[in-house]
Amino acid sequence: MSSTDQVYPPSPEFVAQANANEAMYSRAANDPEEFWAEQARRLDWAVPFTRGLDWSDAPFATWFADGKLNVAVNCVDRHVDAGKGDRVAIHWVGEPGDSRDLTYSQLKDEVSRAANYFASIGLVAGDRVAIYMPMVPEAIIAMLACARLGLTHTVVFAGFSSAALRARVDDAGAKVVITTDGQFRRGEPAPLKTAVDEALGSGDDAAPSVEKVIVVRRTNHDPDLPWVAGRDVWWEDTVAEASPVHEPEAFDAEQPLFLLYTSGTTGSPKGIVHTSGGYLTQAAYTFHNVFDHKEARDVFWCTADIGWVTGHTYIVYGPLANGATEIVYEGTPNSPDEHRHFNIIEKYGVTTYYTAPTLIRTFMKWGRQVPDAHDLTSLRLLGTVGEPINPEAWRWYYDVIGGNRCPIVDTWWQTETGAHMLAPLPGVTACVPGSAMGPLPGISAKVVDDNGNELPQGEQGYLVLDKPWPGMLRGIWGDRQRFIDTYWSRFAEQGWYFAGDGARYDENGALWVLGRVDDVMNVSGHRISTAEVESALVAHPAVAEAAVIGAADETTGQGIVAFVILMEESDDHDALITQMRDQVAVDISPIAKPREINIVPELPKTRSGKIMRRLLKDVAEGRELGDTSTLVDPSVFEAIRSQRA
């Protein structure tokens, strides 16, 4: 960016009413412990904490460890107790057009019923529960019921394959899986429970930890839904019949709240561990300040799926801890047509809309006549998450959706960070389109070179988080060493968390996140590792070797491009490519299917046998090749290019 680029200061009207203020930065910097304790005290503690951060066993942190609280009570009961029971917590909109509103009182009853049933089948604090569901209210109810009992949930995105579900269920040792009979996709019911059956197997192959499968009736599409007697129960016959009165217990601040599996550079997905007190503190704090939330006035909408961390923190824990009223929408943005999101904004008077850059770019493609056909004047704040937003999309969002009136918060964070880390503060920060601006009060970040030296403005380096934060991951489930190796070994000497992203500060001090510097791809804001897709491809019997890269894509940020070598030459490449893409869908998810698969005679390798992905990326993005001097045989590119032609 050059200093002449336009900045967007908040309007005086916005400033006058903002939750956040400039002084928060200095207050947090001068005494971070006290700053975070103050944020934590916005929650209800059954036993107040006397300590903040304990970093004596770094990189394993604890926060507020001698305090006790119940996360579900903080998200539900305390609002009812404060006389806000009739306030709508969730305006739920189903894909076929059905809808349901849940007040905080109703949510309390539903969560209590689920907690009573979960306890009745013998689940006790610390047990794991897998949730594999579309965006129905019961998914949120199930998460909160787990929190209420001190159970650890692991939500698995319902678009993941049964193989991916099985891997997560086994790794977590989940005792219960909660699912639905089916899910709606573009107006049609698609089976989901059958994927659970497939995942859990039977006989010798049965998932060893699973005792029960609880099924919510959603699509009702199959009168002969396969049923495993003794294992499977309907939610309607069990949870719905349980008592709506449940006495909550308080748990340690460090009680594990959830595991969420995410992709890294190597190996199988990792179960990121989040705990209760610190996580909820940061979720609630960021929701209040970054979304400038006003409880009696705002209608919040985060368009993510609860299968991702964004859904955990900004559909479930952040908004509900603040007593918010929010939209939960089940379906896709173009079902039944491209007006869906704008109809919802108009109908419910959405004030705060939080989505991913890939959807904004899709809206741009659909054209401004779609949003222009709607009254969007209820909106007062917009947000983005998941990938860098290009300045053009930012300006379009600001102008066409926000009517040149709404601040945009570009929020950078990760599954591992638990909640927002870098973002402007609305009402305080003058925004630069495309920049996440800087660390929030209480958060510390640096841009450094290979040796950990801080880089001057304008120079590109690695993004590190040099101080612990309350919402930080507490580890990788079942693998202490992997946690240390993955996040803390790159800058071990300094004791910094390496985020995996590149970044730079510009000459005005705005921080730009430049995308991953490791082998993790970002497709429509979904995090997918090259290694995972490669191993799915080589699982196909015809494939000898595969190399996968993320190539720039106008709409999805990155698209997956694969280069494969066959075991033996075949004359039906098209059929093989279709099978390979299907293999990826089966092993991981349809979202990980490569956009393009190139069958090539060779892959570019260094003398030590390393595949030069950087050069494959040059090819896929249509650039001149970078330095090829370390390749065994630079001429492989002739063959690769001719395959793509």
Binding residues: 185-188, 310, 334, 386-388, 410-415, 501, 516, 524, 527, 538, 540, 543
Contact string (CB under 6 A) for ligand PRX, positions 305-334, x = contact: ----xx------------------------
The set of long-range contacts for 41-49, using a CB threshold of 8 Å and a minimum separation of 24, is: 42/281, 42/284, 42/285, 42/288, 43/69, 43/74, 43/277, 43/280, 43/281, 43/284, 43/321, 44/69, 44/73, 44/74, 44/78, 45/69, 45/277, 46/70, 46/250, 47/250, 49/253, 49/277
The piece of 65-73, 175-183, 413-421, 606-614 that touches ligand PRX (CB under 6 A) is: 413-421
Q: Per-residue x/- mask for ligand PRX, residues 563 to 592, rule CB under 6 A? A: ------------------------------
Total residues at interface with ligand PRX (CB under 6 A) = 22
Near ligand PRX in 433-462, by CB under 6 A: 436
Residue from 303, 319, 394, 281 nearest 355 by CA: 303
Residue 95 binds ligand PRX, judged by CB under 6 A: no
Tokens of 6: 């336009």
Tell me whether residue 180 or residue 414 sits nearer to ligand PRX (CB atom).
414
Contact stretch for ligand PRX (CB under 6 A) within 82-90, 247-255, 412-420, 477-485: 412-420
Q: Cβ neighbours of residue 6 under 8 Å, at least 6 residues apart?
A: 433
Tell me the C-alpha distance between 317 and 302, whole Å: 12
Stretch that binds ligand PRX, among 106-114, 399-407, 512-520, 575-583 (CB under 6 A): 512-520
Q: How far is the CB of 636 from ligand PRX (least distance, A)?
A: 30
Give the contact letters, 513-532, x = binds to ligand PRX (CB under 6 A), - = no: x-xx-----x----x-----
386 binds ligand PRX, rule: CB under 6 A: yes
Span interacting with ligand PRX, options 132-140, 240-248, 497-505, 598-606, rule CB under 6 A: 497-505
DSSP3 helix / strand / coil % (the chain, rounded to 5): 30, 25, 45
Is 388 a residue that touches ligand PRX (CB under 6 A)?
yes
In the beta sheet, which residues pair with residue 376? none
- Residue 558 is a binding residue for ligand PRX (CB under 6 A): no
The residue among 444 and 630 lying less far from ligand PRX, judged by its C-beta, is: 444
Which position among 171, 387, 519, 587 is part of the footprint of ligand PRX (CB under 6 A)?
387
Which range in 407-415, 438-446, 467-475, 558-566 contacts ligand PRX by CB under 6 A?
A: 407-415
Q: Which is nearer to ligand PRX, 238 or 286 (CB)?
A: 286
**Residues 127, 256 contacting (CB under 8 angstroms):** no
105/111 Cα distance (integer angstroms)? 10
Residues 25/239, Cβ–Cβ less than 8 Å? no
Shortest separation between residue 173's beta carbon and ligand PRX, angstroms: 23
CB of 262 to ligand PRX, least distance (A): 5
Query: Which of 254, 292, 410, 618 is the binder for ligand PRX (CB under 6 A)?
Result: 410
- Nearest-CB residue to ligand PRX? 415
**Cα distances (Å, whole numbers) of residue 639 to 153, 354, 533, 610, 643:** 49, 45, 23, 19, 6
> Taking each helix axis from N to C terminus, what angle separates 32-40 and 23-30, rounded to the nearest 10 degrees?
110
CB of 452 to ligand PRX, least distance (A): 19
Residue closer to ligand PRX (CB basis): 415 or 529: 415
Q: What is the DSSP string of 277-296?
A: HHHHHHHHHHHHHHTT--TT
Q: Is 37 in the site for ligand PRX (CB under 6 A)?
A: no
Q: State the nearest-atom distance from the C-beta of 390 to ligand PRX, in Å.
A: 11
CA distances from 175 to 120, 126, 151, 558 (A): 14, 11, 11, 37
- What Å distances lie between residue 568 and 53, 211, 564, 573, 641, CA to CA? 58, 45, 12, 12, 20
Q: Which of 398, 433, 442 is nearest to 20 (CA)?
A: 442
Per CB under 6 A, does 385 bind ligand PRX? yes
Residues found near ligand PRX in the complex (CB under 6 A): 262, 309-310, 385-388, 410-415, 436, 499-501, 513, 515-516, 522, 527
